[in-house]
């Protein structure tokens, strides 16, 4: 990993010394400033083009960025942010260099150049590809004063351009995706094929020497008249094509000028770099989504009866979190979840039971009080005793009948223990071998008062929360998602400290976990029938939530909101 050296404003002379000495930082030396510099310091920066100056502390700047600021970093301790800002600053410097050349060639006024620099910064800050496409087209149309613009992204594998975004201030253009081959048959295709600007000052007077013709189907379809077009290739520093921007109808002159073309060329580099970064970021997000989906499939394949649980819990959790965000209730006034927090909750909910991967399958799928092999062992001994002692056939049949009956998790008899107790430790000799009808351990399991799980089974199942936490804590989450492990960790805790595994109480239980707990309980109750558990009707499930809330187990305000806003309704 390369090293980034950080210097504060009062260490400026050290930074200059470092740059002048033999030291070479792998990734760069950064001057980090949280307030405007003194004139003398500005002079030093201007005299040392190797200094990369990044601002920090958004509040102090109030949106006014001095010309020597090349980028912004919110948290300089976050390496990912720092690398991002460094990359942006390098683009900024490239652009400044190109601007200087432009200034020389066209004597363009300073305001315009500043505006170009700000554009590059604006592009580099946007990570959402769709929003970036919109920003790019608005910006380039403003700079080049064009009525309309289209953006195409290149697919080098298929050798085609994909139409991804359009703007036109004169007509409303219905968007429909299509592709163009990267060849000489269209203006945008030729621009991509040649990797050169294609300027057509008058689309009705295309020279005969050109390979493409003007396609007027768009004009006819939306009632528009295209006069001039300018296609600019978006090329990365290594020469790879990212896409094409096509501008339509200059508003200033009858056609686009040489200066427009130069500005377009200058803007193309930061647009290409920003688009590529945003698409890469999107790919990483998709990759991670794929990993989360695969993890969910892995959990649910362990226990097919709980299929869909994680997805449903995520949906109920987000429904409730969004209801909190828009709620006008006083207690929720200060709680507003942004997109990042919602994503954090979504991942935490999708993966909350991932730790079940560490719980033996036979426990997860246990339907009766005894495991099948345990039951089989009792029945086998009973049959042997019956064979050896035909005189007690009736008693043994009664014993078998009671074992089968008490093995059902739904059978809760106060006297369960007593009925079977008389068979406890009864020993019969058959063919010289002793057979015990019922052992102490078997009797205890069949005497369970509730459900099918013994204390040991239960503690193994409950251990899934610890497994989940350990697994999630190993993932290097980004800053926006770093609380995923903590949020998932609290999904079985109760407000009064009677939950598990840490038995923490309300102030320590993250609010997001309190939301998730309600979603989790609701789904466990209403999930489709399982072999060992009937589905609870919705009104009864809501009653149970209210009862839990009134006993101080789960957040009552959240339960009220869950019911009032029908957060338990799924979209499909
Ligand atoms: Fe769980
Ligand atoms: Fe769960």
**pLDDT tens per residue across span 531-540:** 667 789 999 9
Please report which confidence band the pLDDT of residue 25 belongs to, taking 50, 70 and 90 as the band edges. Answer: very low
In the reported structure, the alpha carbon of residue 465 is separated from the centroid of ligand 1 by a whole-number distance in angstroms of 6
How many Å lie between the centroid of ligand 1 and the Cα of residue 329?
29
Percentage of the chain exceeding pLDDT 70? 93
Residue 73: name the closest of 133, 32, 112 by CA: 32
What is the per-residue pLDDT for 22? 46
Per-residue model confidence as pLDDT tens digits over 154-192? 998 889 999 999 999 988 887 788 999 999 999 999 999
Virtual CA dihedral for 245, 249, 250, 255, nearest 10 degrees? 100
pLDDT tens digit string along 93-143? 777 777 666 665 555 556 677 777 888 888 888 888 889 999 999 999 998
Phi-psi map region of 240: left, alpha, beta (phi>0 left; psi -120 to 50 alpha) = beta
Parallel/antiparallel/unpaired status of strands 241-250 and 427-430: unpaired
pLDDT of residue 271: 92
- Report the distance separating Cα 513 and Cα 491, nearest Å: 5
Instruction: For residue 191, report the distance from its CA to the centre of ligand 2, in Å.
Output: 54
Residue 309 Cα, ligand 2 centroid: separation in angstroms?
7
Q: 487 C-alpha vs ligand 1 centroid, how far in Å? A: 12
pLDDT category, 415, cuts 50, 70, 90? low
Note the pLDDT tens digit of each residue in 457-495: 889 999 999 999 999 999 999 888 999 999 999 999 999
**How much distance in Å is there from the Cα of 310 to the middle of ligand 2?**
7
Whether the bond into 530 is cis, omega within 30 of 0: no
Structure tokens at 90: 């390098």
pLDDT score for 110: 62
In angstroms, the CA 303 to CA 357 distance is 10
Between the two ends of the chain, the Cα-to-Cα distance in Å is 47
Phi, psi values for residue 193, rounded to 5°: -65, -45
Q: How many CA atoms lie within 13 A of 284 on its CB side?
A: 11
Identify the helix (H) or strand (E) that includes residue 488: helix 484-489
Determine the distance separating the centroid of ligand 1 and the alpha carbon of 464, expressed in angstroms: 7
pLDDT of residue 104: 55
Which of the ligands is closest to the CA of residue 492?
Answer: 1
Distance 492 CA to ligand 1 centre (A): 6
| Nearest-ligand number for the alpha carbon of 469 | 1
CA–CA separation, 245 vs 184, rounded Å?
A: 16
Question: What residues does the ion ligand 2 have nearby, CB within 5 Å?
Answer: 353, 520
CB of 214 within 8 A of CB of 204? Answer: yes
Binned at pLDDT 50, 70 and 90, residue 347 comes out as: very high
Across 238-258, average pLDDT: 88
Ligand nearest to the CA of 493: 1
Residue in the block written with tokens 């688009």: 275
Q: What token pair was written down for 312?
A: 């449903």
**Over residues 327-338, mean pLDDT:** 91
State how far Cα 15 lies from the chain centre. 38
Return d(Cα 21, Cα 40) in angstroms, integer: 22
467: its two tokens: 């497994």
Nearest ligand to the C-alpha atom of residue 467? 1
Position 14 scores a pLDDT of 83
State the pLDDT confidence band at 65, using cuts at 50, 70 and 90. Answer: confident
Q: Model confidence over 374-406: pLDDT tens digits?
A: 999 999 998 888 888 888 889 889 999 989 988
The percent of residues in the chain predicted with pLDDT above 90, rounded, is: 42
Residue 49 contacts by C-beta under 8 Å, 6 or more apart in sequence? 93
**What is the rounded average pLDDT of the residues 15-28?**
62
The reported pLDDT for the residue numbered 414 is 60
Largest Cα separation within the chain, whole Å, is 116
Cα–ligand 1 centroid distance for 338 (angstroms)? 25
pLDDT-based confidence at 298, cuts 50/70/90?
confident
Residue 16, pLDDT score? 79
Average pLDDT over the chain, rounded to whole? 87
The 8-class DSSP code of residue 536 comes to: P
Beta bridge partners of 168: 148
- Cα–Cα distance measured from residue 17 to residue 306, given in angstroms and rounded to the nearest whole number: 64
| Burial of residue 107, with CB atoms counted within 10 A of its CB: 0-12 exposed, 13-18 middle, 19 or more buried | exposed
Phi, psi for residue 146 in degrees, rounded to 5: -110, 145
Helical spans, DSSP H, in 48-78? 58-61
Ligand closest to CA 521:
2
Distance of CA 334 to the CA centre of its chain: 24
């Amino acid at each position: 990993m390369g090293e980034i050296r950080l210097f504060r404003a009062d260490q400026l002379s050290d930074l200059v010394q470092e740059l002048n000495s033999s030291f070479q930082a792998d990734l760069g030396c950064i001057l980090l400033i949280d307030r405007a510099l003194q004139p003398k310091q500005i002079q030093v920066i201007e005299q040392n083009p190797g200094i990369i100056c990044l601002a920090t502390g958004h509040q102090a700047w109030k949106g006014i960025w001095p010309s020597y600021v090349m980028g912004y970093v919110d948290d300089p301790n976050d390496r990912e942010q720092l690398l991002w800002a460094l990359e942006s600053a390098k683009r900024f410097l490239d652009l400044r260099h190109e601007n200087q050349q432009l200034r020389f060639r066209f004597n363009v006024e300073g305001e315009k150049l500043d505006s170009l620099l700000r554009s590059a910064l604006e592009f580099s800050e946007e990570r959402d590809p769709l929003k970036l496409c919109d920003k790019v087209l608005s910006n380039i149309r403003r700079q080049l004063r064009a009525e309309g613009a289209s953006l195409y992204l290149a697919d080098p594998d298929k050798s085609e351009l994909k139409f991804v975004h359009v703007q036109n201030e004169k007509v409303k253009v219905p968007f429909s995706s299509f592709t163009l081959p990267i060849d000489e048959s269209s203006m945008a295709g030729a621009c991509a094929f040649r990797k050169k600007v294609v300027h057509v000052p008058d689309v009705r007077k295309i020279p005969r020497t050109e390979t493409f013709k003007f396609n007027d189907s768009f004009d006819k379809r939306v009632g528009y008249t295209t006069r001039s077009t300018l296609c600019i290739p978006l090329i990365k520093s290594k020469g790879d094509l990212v896409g094409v921007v096509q501008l339509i109808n200059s508003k200033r002159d009858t056609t686009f000028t040489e200066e427009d073309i130069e500005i377009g060329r200058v803007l193309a580099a930061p647009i290409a770099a920003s688009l590529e970064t945003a698409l890469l970021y999107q790919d990483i997000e998709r990759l991670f989504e794929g990993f989360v989906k695969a993890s969910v499939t892995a959990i649910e394949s362990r226990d097919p009866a709980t299929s869909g649980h994680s997805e449903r819990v995520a949906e109920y959790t987000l429904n409730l979190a969004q209801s909190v965000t828009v709620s006008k209730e006083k207690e929720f006034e200060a709680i507003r979840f942004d997109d990042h927090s919602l994503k954090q909750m979504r991942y935490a909910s999708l993966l909350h039971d991932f730790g079940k991967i560490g719980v033996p399958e036979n426990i997860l799928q246990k339907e009766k009080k005894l495991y099948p092999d345990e039951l089989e062992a009792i029945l086998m001994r009973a049959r042997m005793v019956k064979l050896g002692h035909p005189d007690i056939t009736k008693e043994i049949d009664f014993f078998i009948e009671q074992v089968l009956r008490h093995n059902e998790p739904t059978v809760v008899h106060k006297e369960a223990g007593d009925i079977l107790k008389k068979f406890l430790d009864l020993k019969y000799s058959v063919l010289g071998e002793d057979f015990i009808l019922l052992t102490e351990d078997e009797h205890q399991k069949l005497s369970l008062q509730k459900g099918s799980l013994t204390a040991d089974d239960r503690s193994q199942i409950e251990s899934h929360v610890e497994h989940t936490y350990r697994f999630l804590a190993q993932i290097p989450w980004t800053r926006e998602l770093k609380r995923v492990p903590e949020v998932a960790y609290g999904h079985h805790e109760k407000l009064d400290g009677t939950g598990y595994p840490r038995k923490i109480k309300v102030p320590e239980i993250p609010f997001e976990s309190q939301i998730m707990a309600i979603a989790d309980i609701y789904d466990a109750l209403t999930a489709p029938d399982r072999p060992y558990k009937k589905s609870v009707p919705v009104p009864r499930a809501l009653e149970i939530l209210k009862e839990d809330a009134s006993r101080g187990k789960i957040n009552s305000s959240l339960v009220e909101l869950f019911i009032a806003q029908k957060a338990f309704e799924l979209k499909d």
